[in-house]
């Protein structure tokens, strides 16, 4: 069954330089704090398009009989990704090794996650490689672990993965499950300095339907356009995403650490304006996972929680949260795929070690703040 968001603008056929800023802004929102900060990747993608030209964007129904899309993403702690930039040729090394190993020509790139830099960078890689971007991803947001991907929910095995680091090392993994891929890939990432690039899955017109979340690249561009064009960006985001503005407030405490290839911690936000007197805590593992107020769960994974600048609406990734920032917290429902028993097993609260039941988040208020 396809998982295409409503309202996708299917008229976008090429991703041009002008589309990169909206894509980056929208992907940052879908990143729910993770997926990597978008600013440096946005510049890299703009340069790639300047050098190589616009990138075709295709739906899974446009994959031809000889087409195959590779899933590419950075893996590691987003806080490390700010300091350690990717190296030229990483994506090409992975693609050429996959083609050699499988005997299949790669004709498109798909983001593992539409959230954060991992939702933007595939456009630059596609430009450099002279291939298309698939209008889909494996999460409809960002998640921190390799197991938390739609292909795994659909039961599609990942028989191999290829990883590349910034100094040129290339590692090929053949694993018995996605859980083992997560363990080995995380260990290689830590050995690589905390950040690496990985590719796995070759998706075709036969295997992609029902295994990916469709329409998410175009949707991210639309969300970014709404954000960048509106004089009231937070309100525009809530309306476009069908989200609740959980609270306006000020960051009064940030507890953050990098361990085992993840950014972990929590942030505390004190309400301002109409929300004065309220206090919420957001639990973090690369992404914003759970919002708590007075000991009660307001929203939790797999639903989406994003912290944005109160004035500009720009998403603030977890590694860039700072004491004193004025923010708004938004929450909205995840793709239905994640609310299935298998989806919740892989990415519900228990998957992150929280002993709380998942209560589906639904919008409860009109956007009037």
| pLDDT value of residue 236 | 97
Instruction: Give residues with Cβ within 8 angstroms of 263, minimum separation 6.
Output: 34, 77, 78, 79, 256, 257, 284, 285, 286, 318, 319
Distance CA(75)–CA(262), nearest Å, equals 9
| pLDDT value of residue 209 | 96
| pLDDT value of residue 263 | 74
| pLDDT value of residue 96 | 97
Does residue 143 contact residue 113 with C-beta atoms inside 8 Å?
A: yes
| pLDDT value of residue 26 | 98
Give bridge partners of residue 299 from the DSSP assignment: 291
Q: Which CATH class is domain 232-352?
A: mainly beta
Q: Which residue has the higher pLDDT, 313 or 2?
A: 313
**Does the pLDDT at position 170 exceed 60?**
yes
| pLDDT value of residue 7 | 44
- Mean pLDDT for the stretch of residues 136-163: 94
Distance CA(88)–CA(92), nearest Å, equals 9
77-136: pLDDT as tens digits: 665 556 666 667 899 999 999 999 999 999 999 999 999 999 999 999 999 999 999 999
- Mean pLDDT for the stretch of residues 322-338: 97
29-73: pLDDT as tens digits: 999 998 778 999 999 999 999 999 999 999 999 999 999 999 999
Percent with pLDDT over 70 in the chain:
92
| pLDDT value of residue 195 | 83
Distance CA(98)–CA(19), nearest Å, equals 29
- Mean pLDDT for the stretch of residues 327-352: 97
Percent with pLDDT over 90 in the chain:
79
| pLDDT value of residue 226 | 97
**Does the pLDDT at position 2 exceed 80?**
no
The token pair at 277 is: 């007197």
Would you list the domain boundaries of the chain?
14-217, 232-352
Distance CA(24)–CA(27), nearest Å, equals 5
**Does the pLDDT at position 369 exceed 50?**
no
The token pair at 39 is: 């600013």
- Cα distances (Å, whole numbers) of residue 54 to 8, 26, 46, 204: 20, 19, 10, 23
68-80: pLDDT as tens digits: 999 999 987 665 5
CATH entry, 14-217, from 3.40.1610.10, 3.90.45.10, 1.10.10.10, 3.40.50.170:
3.40.1610.10
**Does the pLDDT at position 4 exceed 60?**
no
| pLDDT value of residue 144 | 86
The token pair at 344 is: 């919740």
The mean pLDDT value of the chain amounts to: 91
CA 162 centroid distance within chain: 20
Distance CA(227)–CA(84), nearest Å, equals 29
The helix-helix angle for 17-30 and 216-229 (nearest 10°) equals 100
**Does the pLDDT at position 9 exceed 60?**
no
| pLDDT value of residue 3 | 39
- Mean pLDDT for the stretch of residues 258-281: 89
| pLDDT value of residue 154 | 96
């Amino acid at each position: 069954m396809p998982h295409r968001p409503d309202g996708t603008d299917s008229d976008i056929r090429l991703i041009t330089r002008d589309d990169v800023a909206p894509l980056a802004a929208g992907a940052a929102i879908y990143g729910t704090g993770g997926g990597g900060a978008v600013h440096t990747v946005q510049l890299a993608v703009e340069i790639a398009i300047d050098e190589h030209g616009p990138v075709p964007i295709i739906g899974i129904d446009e994959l031809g009989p000889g087409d195959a899309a590779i899933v590419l993403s950075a893996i590691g702690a987003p806080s490390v990704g700010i300091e350690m930039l990717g190296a030229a040729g990483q994506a090409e090394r992975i693609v050429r090794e996959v083609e050699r190993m499988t005997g299949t020509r790669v004709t498109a790139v798909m983001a593992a996650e539409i959230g954060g830099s991992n939702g933007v960078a595939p456009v630059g890689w596609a430009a450099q490689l002279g291939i298309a971007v698939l209008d889909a991803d494996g999460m409809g947001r960002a998640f921190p672990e390799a197991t938390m991907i739609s292909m795994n929910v659909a039961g599609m095995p990942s028989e191999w993965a290829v990883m590349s680091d910034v100094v040129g090392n290339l590692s090929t993994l053949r694993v018995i499950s996605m859980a083992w891929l997560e363990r080995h890939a995380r260990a290689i990432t830590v050995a690589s300095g905390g950040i690496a690039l990985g590719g796995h899955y070759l998706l075709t017109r036969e295997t992609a339907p029902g295994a990916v979340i469709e329409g998410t690249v175009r949707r991210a561009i639309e969300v970014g356009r709404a954000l960048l064009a509106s004089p009231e960006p937070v309100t525009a985001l809530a309306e476009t995403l069908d989200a609740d503005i959980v609270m306006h407030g000020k960051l009064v405490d940030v507890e953050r650490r990098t361990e085992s290839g993840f950014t972990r911690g929590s942030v505390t936000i004190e309400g301002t304006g109409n929300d004065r007197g309220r206090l919420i805590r957001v639990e973090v593992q690369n992404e914003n996972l759970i919002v708590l107020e007075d000991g009660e769960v307001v929203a939790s994974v797999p639903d989406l929680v994003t912290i944005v600048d109160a004035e500009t609406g720009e998403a603030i990734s977890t590694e860039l949260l700072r004491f004193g920032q004025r923010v708004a917290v938004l929450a909205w429902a995840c793709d239905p795929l994640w609310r299935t028993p298998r989806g919740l097993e892989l990415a519900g609260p228990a998957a992150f070690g929280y002993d709380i039941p998942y209560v589906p988040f639904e919008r409860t208020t009109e956007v009037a703040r």
